[in-house]
Structures are given as C-alpha cells and as structure tokens.
Amino acid sequence: MKELTRELIPDLIVGSRIIGGGGGGDPYLLQLIAQRVICEYGPVRLWAMDEVPPDALVIAIAIIGGTTVLAEKLPNGEEAVQAVRCLEHYLRRPATALISIEGAGMNGVLPVIPAARLGLPLIDGDFTGRAIPGIHMTLPSIAGIRATPMAIVDSRGSRVILDIQDDETAEIMARSTVVDMGGVALIALYPTDGGQLHGTIVDGSVSHMIQIGHALNEVQDHFHDPTLLIRQTTGSEELFRGKVAEVHREWQNSYGYVRGDALIEGGGLYVGQEMSLKFQNEYLLAAVGRRLVITIPDNIIVLEARTGTPIPPEFLVSGMDLVILGLPAVEGWLTQEGLAVIGPRAFGYEVDYHRFLKARKKIH
C-alpha cells in the first residue's frame, strides 16, 4: 500500500493537467484545498486494485459542470464529502474506497479531498484514462456497471439522488439538475463492488500521473523545449507545431459546453501546412489539410509551445504558439462498444476512429 502525501500533490496536479491535455478543467484550482486537507487529516492511502476486497463498496467522485463555470464557482471539497454520505445513506451501506471517474484534469485530483476527509483509501486507477465530457463515457459503463444511483450536491448543500437504469439518460438528467443548482456540483456515482471493477478500470493511473508530474517538476527548468520533456515522460508523439490563426466557438447549451474549431498555421517543420482542431469541451479531432491525423478516444494534448502549459479550448486565442501531441488511448476504448460511446461519431462527426499509433496497454 502506498500513501499520497501533501508533498506529492504538486506532482499529481501537473500529471493530471498533462493527461487532460487542456480538457477536464484545471486541477491547479484544487491544489491548496487538497494540500490543506491532507495536512489536517493525514495522508491518503493509495490502494492497488489487487488490494481492493471483492465485497468493498467503491464509489467514484466527480465534478460536473461546464469548465467555464467551474473557474468561477470552485467547489470547496465539502460537497464531495456530503455526496459520499448522501449516497451511503441511500444505499444503507458505508463506502470502503473512492476512485476517480477520469484520470485527467480536475477529476484526477478531486477524490483526494473526500478520501482524506473521510479517512478512506483512494484506488490507484480511474474509469477513462483521459478527460471525458460525459459521466456515461466510462469503461465500467460499457462493461455493464451502472453509473447510478448517484448523489449530486451543490455548494449550498442541496442534495439530489438519481436512480436511473440507463447511463446516457442519467447524464442528461444530471446535467439538467446541475444547471438548476447553479451550473456546478459534486457527484458520487458508480457504486460498485470491488470484485466487479477488476478488468474495467485504467489500473495504476494515479501513480502514473504522479510519475509524470515528478519528472516534469524536477527537470523542467533545464529543458529548452518543455514539450520534448512532456513527450518523453508520457510516451506521446508530436503531431504539429504552429500559430493559432482562427478560433470559432459557440456555447452549445446551458450546460456550459464549449464547441468549436481552431485553425493552426504550421511553423518550423510544418511551414506551409494547416491543422484544423475540433473540440467539444475536450479536443476531439485534428486534421492536417484534408488528412485526418488523430481522433478521440486517442488523447489530443494541446500545449503552449514556450512553457508546455496545456491550453483548454476556451482559452485558445489567435496568435498563440502551440504544440499538438497525440497520446494513444487505453485499449479498452478501441472495442466496438467503446468506440460507440466515445468515438468521433458519438459526438456528431461523420468520420470513423483514426488510429494514429498502436493502442497503449493498460497501466500497471
């Protein structure tokens, strides 16, 4: 058993931010809260999947809401504690361990807060291996594990339980509920026996994010090109470099989703070429000219060229110098069932998944 200490939080933050690639919200917003609760309540036990008892009740934790709303209405962490307690009360059963719904962005860090507050272990894994825009877009869901019942709690302490058979309907109703709660809330969901989770999660992803963050925090000041270091630590590949020429956005709905595209004019080795990026909260497709080079579920990581900082779609501006990296999806997404949930056609694009590299193995 490992422990997640206060000193490891900056590494987890950086790793989660890099894997998010600009999606999933900025985990830096949670750093002070996570460090404070660990100082007050002690380190969080980090369980490997083989340490989880088969009859353990595992509960996933997530922030739900548009990323632009999250930046303005940051939860304080108490909502996540209340959400776990609310779901425990509904199930009439105490939680044994917590897990992150996505190993990227804010949700890659968030479960540390209720785990510390409640004295519960955190499982070293997550449900997606990347940032995702919907709570039904998870590996356990395509394996038949229900997202509900789920508890939704807002900053005022209002609580809602949703118990719905279909995960996609649960996503729609949860988003609608959160709009009425002010646009952002914390949810406890996917209550599952430990034995059911084996083979359905991205194993070891918390440790992996910490390793990435540690490598970057240790030596980033000595690298002329921080994006090269990021490629080396993540196993990603460079797809393009250039300057943002145009950005088009539309606010798709009241949920705070940002949808649009950006045009990047190539620089360096890519002079004379143009990349088109499509996004819906997360980056979903990239094409150079008419050639599609990467699609979701492979991870498109968009970095500011000078600093290596991940840039969310809502912060793209003309004139910004970018480096675009590609990180292969975990293998669980590349099944017919996985691509039906998180492939490009699931987002309304009339193209099939484009495998830019061999699928990455599950992390151990």
Q: Is 196 exposed, middle or buried (0-12, 13-18, 19+ CB in 10 A)?
A: middle
Confirm if 321 and 291 have CB atoms less than 8 A apart: no
Angle, vertex CA 328, rays to CA 327 and CA 333, nearest 5: 135
Structure tokens at 157: 């302490």
Check whether 65 has a pLDDT greater than 90. no
| For range 91-108, the mean pLDDT | 96
Can you tell me the distance from the alpha carbon of 299 to that of 5, in angstroms, rounded to the nearest whole number? Answer: 28
Pick the closest to residue 175 from 83, 283, 253 (CA basis): 253
Q: For residue 23, what pLDDT is reported?
A: 85
- Which amino acid type is present at position 26? D
Confidence band, pLDDT 50/70/90 cuts, at residue 22? confident
Check whether 70 has a pLDDT greater than 70. no
Check whether 364 has a pLDDT greater than 80. no
Angle, vertex CA 168, rays to CA 124 and CA 165, nearest 5: 90
Confirm if 16 and 27 have CB atoms less than 8 A apart: yes
Confidence band, pLDDT 50/70/90 cuts, at residue 218? confident
Check whether 298 has a pLDDT greater than 60. yes
The residue that leads in pLDDT, 72 or 297, is: 297
Confidence band, pLDDT 50/70/90 cuts, at residue 135? very high
Can you tell me the distance from the alpha carbon of 81 to that of 111, in angstroms, rounded to the nearest whole number? Answer: 10
Q: Is 29 exposed, middle or buried (0-12, 13-18, 19+ CB in 10 A)?
A: middle
Q: Hey, do 2-203 and 227-347 end up sharing a CATH topology, with the first three levels equal? A: no
| For range 63-70, the mean pLDDT | 72
251-268: pLDDT as tens digits:
655 455 678 999 999 999
Domain definitions of the chain by residue range: 2-203, 227-347
End-to-end CA distance of the chain: 14
The residue that leads in pLDDT, 112 or 23, is: 112
State percent of the chain over pLDDT 70.
Answer: 92
Check whether 159 has a pLDDT greater than 70. yes
Structure tokens at 25: 């919200």
Residue-averaged pLDDT of the chain:
91
The residue that leads in pLDDT, 53 or 181, is: 53
Pick the closest to residue 316 from 267, 348, 279 (CA basis): 279
- Provide the CATH number for the domain formed by 2-203 in this structure: 3.40.1610.10
Can you tell me the distance from the alpha carbon of 102 to that of 79, in angstroms, rounded to the nearest whole number? Answer: 18
The number of angstroms, rounded, from the C-alpha of 315 to the middle of its chain's C-alpha atoms is 17
Check whether 270 has a pLDDT greater than 90. yes
Confirm if 153 and 79 have CB atoms less than 8 A apart: yes
Q: For residue 362, what pLDDT is reported?
A: 42
Confidence band, pLDDT 50/70/90 cuts, at residue 354? confident
Can you tell me the distance from the alpha carbon of 289 to that of 216, in angstroms, rounded to the nearest whole number? Answer: 33
pTM for the model stands at 0.93
Check whether 360 has a pLDDT greater than 60. no
Check whether 104 has a pLDDT greater than 90. yes
Q: For residue 61, what pLDDT is reported?
A: 97
225-237: pLDDT as tens digits:
889 989 999 999 9
Confirm if 189 and 135 have CB atoms less than 8 A apart: yes
Confidence band, pLDDT 50/70/90 cuts, at residue 361? very low
Which CATH architecture best describes the domain 227-347? Beta Barrel (2.40)
Question: Which of 86-90, 172-176, 224-228, 314-318 has the highest mean predicted lDDT (pLDDT)?
Answer: 86-90
Q: For residue 311, what pLDDT is reported?
A: 94
229-to-104, 215, 284, 308, 362 alpha-carbon distances in Å: 19, 8, 24, 9, 22
Token match 């209550």: residue?
191
136-154: pLDDT as tens digits:
999 999 999 999 999 999 9
| For range 164-186, the mean pLDDT | 92
| For range 341-347, the mean pLDDT | 95
The residue that leads in pLDDT, 26 or 336, is: 336
